[in-house]
Structure 1
Amino acid sequence: MNILTEKFNTPYHSAPFNHIKNEDFLPAFKELIQQSEEEINTIVNNPEAPNFENVIEALAYSGEQLDLVSNIFFNLNSAETNDELQQIAQEVSPILTEYSSKISQNEALFNKIKKVYDEKGQYHLNEEQEMLLNETYKGFVRSGALLNEEDKEKLKKISMDLSIKSLQFGQNVLASTNAYFKHITDKEQLAGIPEAIIEQYAEEAKERDLEGWVVTLQYPSYIPVMTYAENRELRKELALANGKKSFDGGEFDNQNLIKELLNLKQQKAELLGYKDYADFVLEERMAKSPVKVFDFLNELLTKAKPYADKEIQELKSLAKADGIEEMQSYDHTFYAEKLRKQKFDLNDEELKPYFPLNQVQDAVFGLSGKLFGLTFEERNDIPKYHEDVKVYEVRETSAQGDHYKALLYVDYFPRKGKRAGAWMTSYKNQYQKNGENSRPHISIVCNFSKPTKDAPSLLTFQEVTTLFHEFGHALHGMMANTQYSTLSGTSVKWDFVELPSQFLENFCYEPEFLKTFAKHYKTGEVLPDEKIEKIEQSKNFMEGYQTLRQLGFGLLDMSYHTKVEELKNESIKDFEDKYTKATTLYPVNSETAMSPSFSHIFQGGYSSGYYSYKWAEVLDADAFQYFKENGIFNPEIAAKYKVLLSSGGTKDPMELYKTFRGSEPKVESLLKRAFG
């Protein structure tokens, strides 16, 4: 018996991590794909006339166990991978892509869907049902249902190639990241770096059976060098290593892979009748078209550039005083930290003792209770995939009483098998069926510094906002209350998905809230008022620079997906330099490029969508302004916001936003917050 093909005999049918073996996955996928295909055949062969229930709804509820196992497998491959799992991923991805193509190109199934779609006026559907019908029909058309047989075959092959190559891209970045480490035997080289961080470097060295200290390209290790190391050569070496990830011509180089991925996306778009991949993607986003995205990004660029230039001039003056005539990108973080210290008398190491991870987590749990009536209780009887992971049962108290809401997995510390960065994901989406509301299983994954023998995990203020950001996504998943899993939680238009995450970050800068949890882990002393005031004042520190950096990523992403022909005759490096030139504030280094490790767009789902971070900033600034005007814990507005979170993708996002706010979002809200 394969544990993955049966209903899980665990609390809340949670993933039975303690019993899953790597060798279970491939046979489970094959069996569950077969089961799901049988469910599809039942829909296709149903002799009754096609209607909403026996076609659209039946399809929405099909493949439940396959979805569960896919979520478990791919989440493990991101958070706790190994060579064997990566090999299985290479085998599984094309099988799943083929299965998906088989469904989306099933002519008999599509004919039934089309019949229901064409006759939808007779079904008296509610808003969510109508959304499901429209999204199902569109999804099939966008997957090639209207193509001839030859083109369907071409699309199927393209989709399989894309899934394999994007997976390979991510594996190369992870391998390239793990391949580098800097072994230091002279402590003088680490001058300026806080002692607590140096201790972590010593522990890293011990784990590798080395004397002295080891710095890696994992962010909790890399960022302190860039921020504090007085040794400019060390900063340069680390920055070069980071900038060469998958860009060194070696085994894990991604340059050719990028061109292959972009060509495949262009072929897919053209096959489906679109000008380019951005055109294809944006049809299904709030922004609607590449022109609108370019206009949006360039408008922000025009407004932010003068602020960024002014900020860089300030840093250059500091660097000049240290004898640096031409400042480089690897000097930026070091001098930005110096200037921040000068202006606000703040530095991360000074603040970290006030932000132990457990207190920050308690704060975000408490905020969720205050706004939405949620409570979190750790469960030790629910299986987990690594000893660092904790699992919480989430409950909601409302006028209807107290009830189970979700499971939340938290996984905070870096390890070799975990990719860099921070993300929220789902093991199981929420949906309703046969009168039962099946609740979601949500996960937050981060890479914070581990506790040491002398201190708990202490967060930088940026890491505090990261935790709030991912928790905002988690709330979107946990609060879900829709009929169908495909419209549940974060299953919304991509440029709407960052609203809940970025919205929650705003609370980190509110003195009223900060005082409730920013307390020294040894003494319990509350972070002094002057420091809180400085955190608030420093909120927009280097905002111009950060805005240009994000706009650079967004413009590069859009250029890659609208100008593939140009790329055929250019190197990745030249293309990147050309389309980030308007946002580049330091001399360009010929040895580095960020595209070969730009996982968001070449491995993740942000192709033609990176702009959505800035797009959502407009939404979150406008939404939080509404709270600020009426009290940041205002229960009436929190109740309206709760409706927005729980509605998932059941309504057009702009309509959902207008229902909450009373009007469309204003770009002025972002500009006012960013630049005063």
Structure 2
Amino acid sequence: MTDTTDRASNPLLDFSDLPRFAEIRPEHIGPALDVLLAQAQAAVARAEDPATPATWASAVEALEVATEPLGRAWGVVGHLSAVADTPELRKAHADNLPRMTEFWSSLGQSLALYEKYKAVAAGPEFAGLSPARKQLLENELRGFRLGGAELAEDKKPRFAEIQEQQAQLSKAFSDHVLDATNGYALYIEDEARLSGIPADAKEAAALAAQKDGKAGWKFTLHFPSYFPVLQYADDRALRQTMYEASVTRASELGPQHGNGQADWDNTANMREQLTLRREEAHMLGYANYGEVSLVPKMAESPAEVLKFLDELAVKARPFAEHDWTELREFAAAELGLNDVAPWDVAYASEKLRQKRYSFSDDEVKQYFQEPKVLEGLFGVAEKLFSVRIQPDTTQTWHKDVRFFRVVSPQGALLAQFYIDLYAREGKRGGAWMDDARGRKERGNGTVQTPVAYLTCNFTAPVGDKPALFTHDEVITMFHEFGHGLHHMLTQVGDLGVSGINGVEWDAVELPSQFMENFCWEYEVLSTMTAHVETGAPLPRALFDRMLAAKNFQNGMMTLRQIVFSSFDMHLHTDYDPQGAVSVLELSRQINDAKHVVPQSPLSRWPNTFSHIFAGGYAAGYYSYKWAEVLSADVYAAFEEAAQLSGSVLDSATGERYRREILSVGGSRPAMESFVAFRGRAPQIDALLRHGGMTEAAVAA
């Protein structure tokens, strides 16, 4: 039998360079963790030992050196679970999740380690530490407090049990959403029912059916397949079928599995998670989980967050009411839809936009060829931040994944990243950035450069044509690349505060949302577009119509985000998971109070709200709107520079942004970084102006 505990035979134990994705197998996971957990546990024991001096090198740094390989290896396993799920990998992940959770829980609960870190902070060495290391130490001490280190010893086993149960429930939630999404397919044989659906979406559906050995067209609940039906299909019954299948996923109404039991239903899972979070908060001495969640964030209290959301809702509501009234009147007069059902909203909205602005999403899509879009995206980063982005090679987890390097003008390696753009079975939906490796300055004078994963779920290319992206997908790509730049362009040498590490969760969206703004600049789009047939760039007249339509239904969309954010915060503050009101009923109450568009009686959207039940955003979903204030204000600095230089791609402003926000990572509070860049506290004006929610917009 092959020994899978040495570096040569077990790729998960090789940290000499990048992950050996082509060689990693599920059977490598357990043996690799045996080795890495043993090393980490031995390091913890040494750091806890009273004989070990309370110094940065012997306690903090020694522990980081020993635990980083464990975190990296498990990060690779988690990444593969998200992008290349198989039954064997899922089982190996599930088998090892409890011991990983147990290790990190015991680390956070270690009173001896907590005391050692406190001694470092109180010792003579502290004054001489760099600001980054002082911040890191402060974060670690906070982590111990939130990890249960101050709990009585007889309470710690229950606290650890809560962490393990939450980890398992979170993974199960995510698996159920993926399985319910993969578990549905609709085959259509009558082409007349596909009237209105764009040619490329039909072509992809025909190929999918052909792959299954079926006639006609196959539609799934993966977004690139599902949404064109909702947005374009003239067949109302077809839209209804797809809509209902999507909004009932992972619920008691969704497609059943196996023996007919609703084993993909997340209803009980949500209640269990909320109950455990509430118990955790009470054990730590907090009134609710919302308070726990906000400890490491910019916002100071759930009340402050809810006030922020309510004030934004008041500003957005008149615009949303106008949007909804207009849509219903248009649908009745032009489409014969006297009652706009939920499966009509995207369709009617697209028709209204086409009529008012004389373009469709599909028309715009023909200009956004993947190679040109990537070239344009990289060009923005290169011009603003004085870097070069070049193709690179390494092992990947799928043939469609590409790899790039980021270098300085002199050619020095700064970072690398993987980009995985297309939806497929076995891949979790949505878009995200994750770190494969953080930046770290080693004791020998060398630097471990950061590596990022950039993951999206767009439509794959069909035949010999390049993939074509909607403008919304281009915005998504810029968004995730903004996260990537935050991770990759850091200059901090301590892992815990390098890149996005240690950045307050409600500020971490600033660099991503900031990048989205460039998708609305003609000087950017004109260089990153080429019509798939003619090669012509996006015409200025079409762009002007897109710009005019930029805030189309933004009032409705803003209230939708406020519903999600308010629901999340109420769930974690004043909601009783064991009470008479269900999670679903709470979602309806909040939608009725905050939104102008009624929630469908069938909708079970909380059951797929992975951000808060499987993605780390619990009592933190408001971060998207919170950070939007910051990012809009930051972008306004580039707009101001453009008035002088003639270009928003102003390299001097870009250099300042890189220096004050991207490069410092989590080494100082986000508000300090914002003020260092902007010269003042943030203001909401730019957000309202960019979103078309100002008095001038009302007058218009």
Which bracket does the TM-score occupy, shorter chain normalised? over 0.9
1:45: how far off?
A: 2.8
Runs of 5+ unmatched residues, structure 2: 254-261, 643-647, 695-700
Q: Deviations for 1:145-185, whole angstroms, at most 9, x for unmatched residues?
A: 11111111111000000000110000001001111111111
Q: Which residue of 2 aligns with 1:2?
A: 4
Q: Which residue of 1 aligns with 2:117?
A: 113
Q: Which residue of 2 aligns with 1:651?
A: 668
Q: Which residue of 1 aligns with 2:450?
A: 440
Q: Which of these residues, 305, 324, 336, is aligned with residue 337 of structure 2? A: 324
The AA in structure 2 aligned to 1:372 is F
Q: Which residue of 2 aligns with 1:642?
A: 658
Q: Given the two structures, how large is their TM-score scaled by the length of structure 1?
A: 0.97
Q: Which of these residues, 412, 416, 422, is aligned with residue 413 of structure 1? A: 422
Aligned to 2:326, what secondary structure does the other structure show?
helix
CA distance, structure 1, for counterparts of residue 149 and residue 639 of structure 2: 48
Note closer, same or farther for the CA distance 1:122–1:517 as it changes in structure 2 (3 Å cut). closer
Note closer, same or farther for the CA distance 1:564–1:88 as it changes in structure 2 (3 Å cut). farther
CA distance, structure 1, for counterparts of residue 74 and residue 12 of structure 2: 15
Q: Which residue of 2 aligns with 1:354?
A: 367
CA distance, structure 1, for counterparts of residue 160 and residue 13 of structure 2: 36
Residues 56-67 of structure 1: pairs in structure 2 closer than 5 A = 56-67=60-71
Runs of 5+ unmatched residues, structure 1: none
CA distance, structure 2, for counterparts of residue 111 and residue 509 of structure 1: 52
**Alignment pair present for 1:496 and 2:496:** no
1:40: how far off?
A: 1.6
CA distance, structure 1, for counterparts of residue 109 and residue 676 of structure 2: 37
Q: Which of these residues, 687, 694, 699, is aligned with residue 670 of structure 1? A: 687
Q: Deviations for 1:359-404, whole angstroms, at most 9, x for unmatched residues?
A: 1111111111101122222223x1111111111122121xxx3300
CA distance, structure 2, for counterparts of residue 525 and residue 559 of structure 1: 50
CA distance, structure 2, for counterparts of residue 186 and residue 656 of structure 1: 58
Q: Deviations for 1:542-599, whole angstroms, at most 9, x for unmatched residues?
A: 1101101111100110011112326521223212101222233333322221000000
Q: Which residue of 2 aligns with 1:373?
A: 386
Aligned to 2:462, what secondary structure does the other structure show?
coil
Residues 298-337 of structure 1: pairs in structure 2 closer than 5 A = 298-321=310-333, 322-337=335-350
Contact map agreement 2:591 2:598 (CA 8 A) in 1: no
Identity among equivalent positions (%) equals: 34
1:64: how far off?
A: 2.0
Q: Deviations for 1:291-318, whole angstroms, at most 9, x for unmatched residues?
A: 0100000000001011011011111112
1:225: how far off?
A: 0.5
Contact map agreement 2:637 2:678 (CA 8 A) in 1: yes
Q: Which residue of 1 aligns with 2:99?
A: 95
Note closer, same or farther for the CA distance 1:120–1:284 as it changes in structure 2 (3 Å cut). farther
CA distance, structure 2, for counterparts of residue 559 and residue 49 of structure 1: 45
Q: Which residue of 1 aligns with 2:265?
A: 253
1:5: how far off?
A: 4.9
**Alignment pair present for 1:282 and 2:282:** no
The AA in structure 2 aligned to 1:192 is G
Q: Which of these residues, 442, 452, 457, is aligned with residue 462 of structure 2? A: 452
Contact map agreement 1:511 1:536 (CA 8 A) in 2: no
The AA in structure 1 aligned to 2:537 is V
CA distance, structure 1, for counterparts of residue 65 and residue 53 of structure 2: 19
Q: Which of these residues, 255, 265, 275, is aligned with residue 277 of structure 2? A: 265
Q: Which of these residues, 149, 166, 169, is aligned with residue 165 of structure 1? A: 169
1:123: how far off?
A: 3.6
Note closer, same or farther for the CA distance 1:12–1:52 as it changes in structure 2 (3 Å cut). closer
Q: Which residue of 1 aligns with 2:497?
A: 487
The AA in structure 2 aligned to 1:662 is G
Q: Deviations for 1:576-627, whole angstroms, at most 9, x for unmatched residues?
A: 1012222333333222210000000000010000000001110111011110
Q: Which residue of 2 aligns with 1:387?
A: 399
Aligned to 2:434, what secondary structure does the other structure show?
strand
Q: Deviations for 1:6-27, whole angstroms, at most 9, x for unmatched residues?
A: 6889997000112211100111
Contact map agreement 2:12 2:28 (CA 8 A) in 1: no
Note closer, same or farther for the CA distance 1:393–1:111 as it changes in structure 2 (3 Å cut). same
Q: Which residue of 1 aligns with 2:36?
A: 32
Detail structure 1 runs of 4+ shifted over 6 Å in the superposition. Answer: 6-12
CA distance, structure 2, for counterparts of residue 518 and residue 311 of structure 1: 30
The AA in structure 2 aligned to 1:629 is E
CA distance, structure 2, for counterparts of residue 181 and residue 262 of structure 1: 32
Aligned to 1:505, what secondary structure does the other structure show?
helix
**Alignment pair present for 1:505 and 2:516:** yes
CA distance, structure 1, for counterparts of residue 440 and residue 467 of structure 2: 36
Q: Given the two structures, how large is their TM-score scaled by the length of structure 2?
A: 0.93
**Alignment pair present for 1:600 and 2:604:** no
**Alignment pair present for 1:518 and 2:529:** yes
CA distance, structure 1, for counterparts of residue 5 and residue 422 of structure 2: 28
Q: Which of these residues, 601, 610, 615, is aligned with residue 621 of structure 2? A: 610
Contact map agreement 2:275 2:577 (CA 8 A) in 1: no
Q: Which of these residues, 571, 581, 605, is aligned with residue 570 of structure 1? A: 581
RMSD: 1.7
1:534: how far off?
A: 1.5
CA distance, structure 2, for counterparts of residue 10 and residue 451 of structure 1: 34
Residues 545-564 of structure 1: pairs in structure 2 closer than 5 A = 545-564=556-575
1:406: how far off?
A: 1.1
Q: Which residue of 1 aligns with 2:698?
A: none
Aligned to 1:442, what secondary structure does the other structure show?
strand
**Alignment pair present for 1:402 and 2:404:** no
Contact map agreement 2:486 2:665 (CA 8 A) in 1: yes
Contact map agreement 1:5 1:65 (CA 8 A) in 2: no
CA distance, structure 1, for counterparts of residue 565 and residue 598 of structure 2: 20
Note closer, same or farther for the CA distance 1:49–1:408 as it changes in structure 2 (3 Å cut). closer
CA distance, structure 1, for counterparts of residue 507 and residue 654 of structure 2: 18
Contact map agreement 2:592 2:598 (CA 8 A) in 1: no
Q: Deviations for 1:484-515, whole angstroms, at most 9, x for unmatched residues?
A: 11111111110111011110010010111111
Contact map agreement 1:297 1:555 (CA 8 A) in 2: yes
Q: Deviations for 1:213-246, whole angstroms, at most 9, x for unmatched residues?
A: 1110000001101110111111111111111011
Contact map agreement 1:356 1:456 (CA 8 A) in 2: yes
CA distance, structure 2, for counterparts of residue 569 and residue 11 of structure 1: 51
Note closer, same or farther for the CA distance 1:120–1:417 as it changes in structure 2 (3 Å cut). farther
The AA in structure 2 aligned to 1:333 is A
Note closer, same or farther for the CA distance 1:11–1:42 as it changes in structure 2 (3 Å cut). closer
1:124: how far off?
A: 2.3
CA distance, structure 2, for counterparts of residue 473 and residue 4 of structure 1: 34
Q: Which residue of 2 aligns with 1:125?
A: 129
1:62: how far off?
A: 2.8
Note closer, same or farther for the CA distance 1:275–1:5 as it changes in structure 2 (3 Å cut). farther
Aligned to 1:354, what secondary structure does the other structure show?
coil
Q: Which residue of 1 aligns with 2:477?
A: 467
CA distance, structure 1, for counterparts of residue 554 and residue 639 of structure 2: 21
CA distance, structure 2, for counterparts of residue 69 and residue 104 of structure 1: 20
The AA in structure 1 aligned to 2:579 is K
**Alignment pair present for 1:340 and 2:350:** no
The AA in structure 2 aligned to 1:354 is Y
Contact map agreement 1:247 1:592 (CA 8 A) in 2: no
Contact map agreement 1:572 1:595 (CA 8 A) in 2: yes
CA distance, structure 1, for counterparts of residue 636 and residue 551 of structure 2: 16
Contact map agreement 1:422 1:445 (CA 8 A) in 2: yes
1:47: how far off?
A: 2.5
Aligned to 1:405, what secondary structure does the other structure show?
strand
**Alignment pair present for 1:633 and 2:659:** no
CA distance, structure 1, for counterparts of residue 242 and residue 565 of structure 2: 25
